[in-house]
Structure formats: C-alpha cells, structure tokens
Amino acid sequence: MGYDVTLVERIRELLADDLDVTDKRMFGGVAFLTGGHLAVAASRNGGLMARVDPEDTEELLRQPGVARMVMGGREMNGWLRVAQDQLTDDALAEWVARGLDFARSLPGSPQ
C-alpha cells in the first residue's frame, strides 16, 4: 500500500501558512519537517505517523486507532501511528500541531 495522496493534501492545507515546514518523500511516504526534524508523515502503510513527546506516549496510546511505530522490529516511544479512520479534520489538526510542537522543541529547531 502506498501513502494516501488525499491525506498529504490535507496536511499541506493545514500547514499552508507555516513557512518553516517542508515536505519530503521519505520511507515510502511523505514527511513534514521543521528545522530538519520530522513532525508528521503520511505513512506508506496508511494513516499518519506522528512524532510526540516520549513522556506522552502511554497516555496517547489509550486513544482509538493509535499504536507505537515499529521500526526494525523495535517499538519506538515518541513515534506513533494513527489509523486513517481516526483522522477526522479536527483530529488531524491536533496530531499535526502536536507533532510540530514536539519537533520544534528539539535542539537546533527554530523557536
């Protein structure tokens, strides 16, 4: 399965006024970065990949359709997958904002 083109466009619409955000094809999907840090991505496996504060991982996993990302057979704290059917307009906006906020908090990111 490839990434969802409609999801990419929805994310681009949310980020239209964010001049410090770029998008780039990565990992078979489309990633959205700020300050060189990945914030969110339309995943090649469907749905959204979101980067969040690792301290928030357990709480966020309680939401429907949210799971830890697994990379190289390893579960990753702070990297979550959100199922496509959970991405209402409001939910997508919240996940994108959460991803951007965390990415912008990382060293070397513009404040």
- Domain positions in the chain: 5-105
Q: Which amino acid is at 61?
A: L
Write out the DSSP string of 44-66. Answer: TTSSEEEE--GGGHHHHTTSTTE
The per-residue pLDDT for range 75-96, each reduced to its tens digit, is 888 999 999 999 999 999 999 9
Inform me whether the pLDDT recorded for 1 exceeds 90: no
Mean residue pLDDT of the chain comes to: 91
Region 2-21 average pLDDT: 91
The per-residue pLDDT for range 29-58, each reduced to its tens digit, is 999 999 999 999 998 888 999 999 999 999
d(CA 42, CA 50): 9
d(CA 18, CA 106): 17
Q: Specify whether the CB–CB gap between 81 and 69 falls below 8 A.
A: yes
- What's the pTM? 0.91
CATH of domain 5-105: 3.90.1150.30
pLDDT at position 26: 87
